[in-house]
Amino acid sequence: MKNVLSIAGSDPSGGAGFQADLKTMCAMGVYGMTAITAVIAQNTCGVYRIQEVDPGMVAAQIEAVFTDIRVDAVKTGMVFNARIIAAIRDSLVRFNAKNIVIDPVMVAKSGDPLLQPEAEEAVRDFSAMADVLTPNIPEAEIISGMSIGSQDDMIRAAEKISALGPRSVLVKGGHRSGAGAEDLFYSGGKAVWFKAARVETRHTHGTGCTLSSAIACRLALGDTAEEAVRAAKDYITKAITSSYAAGKGNGPVGHLAELYRRAGVNTD
């Protein structure tokens, strides 16, 4: 059994945050662990309140895991502010963490901010630690300092982000208009496009959390970064196709849809 640590915020509605990470890890066949960075009052309609966890407590959670259990991969999600980012970075360096996937979470699906503006530079510095960095288009624009409107723009942004230090960059193209959902994987000067048909649904809450967690799981299981992204892309496409209309807003993707089907559970 491989062990994967999620360092992320919470989502009490269960569609995003570490709750989505744990569901993804279960579906991927790894043992999931968590270090919580923020407690969020959130549901499918929006974010209503955020309570950050003290950076020392974030570091203590990470230490508690690493000093007891082998960690085969790490995924980071919502980090909220520069002090928490510093605590995570120092902890991962201290324990020589491997297979690090950084999802630079800045804005929720509802449009609510999940990162303090003054922490944007800290996110750029933190990105250098990533084996795979997974920004969406708006996040890639902030990190690269350029606007993105075309596939050529995605490549130029990936080049700029790659220069910051991450080994691989996955620029997620879901925010671009069009029939497809092309993601750009960029590593070592090589660009690879991952294409999938766009699924017509508003129930895509937690897609970024889920995708980055799936990548971390596949890295833990021994995939190369490109292989991990390919497998994770396949998983998230199936999860979106099996999304669940929970709540009144943007429902979650079907993290455990295959397990539910095997159990005879109807999620319609």
Residue 195 annotated among the catalytic residues of the structure: no
Catalytic residue of the set 76, 207, 210, 237: 207
197 in helix, strand or coil?
A: strand
Catalytic residue of the set 77, 206, 251, 254: 206
CA distance 91 to 249: 36
- Residues 211, 8, 24, 73, CA torsion sign: positive
Tell me which residue of 235, 256, 253 sits closest to 244, measured CA to CA. Answer: 253
Phi, psi of 240 (to 5 degrees): -65, -40
Instruction: Using the CB atoms, write b or e for 35-68: b if 16+ within 10 Å.
Output: bbbbebebbbeebeebebbebeebbebbeebbee
CA distance 117 to 115: 6
Catalytic residue of the set 17, 77, 174, 208: 208
Residue 37 annotated among the catalytic residues of the structure: no
Residue 204 annotated among the catalytic residues of the structure: yes
Catalytic residue of the set 204, 217, 251, 254: 204
Tell me which residue of 52, 111, 112, 117 sits closest to 87, measured CA to CA. Answer: 52
Residue 189: CB partners within 8 Å, gap ≥ 6? none
Residue 209 annotated among the catalytic residues of the structure: yes
Structure tokens at 251: 């429902």
Catalytic residue of the set 14, 209, 210, 233: 209
CA distance 33 to 18: 9
Catalytic residue of the set 23, 109, 172, 233: 172
Residue 172 annotated among the catalytic residues of the structure: yes
Where in the sequence numbering do the catalytic residues fall? 172, 204, 206-209
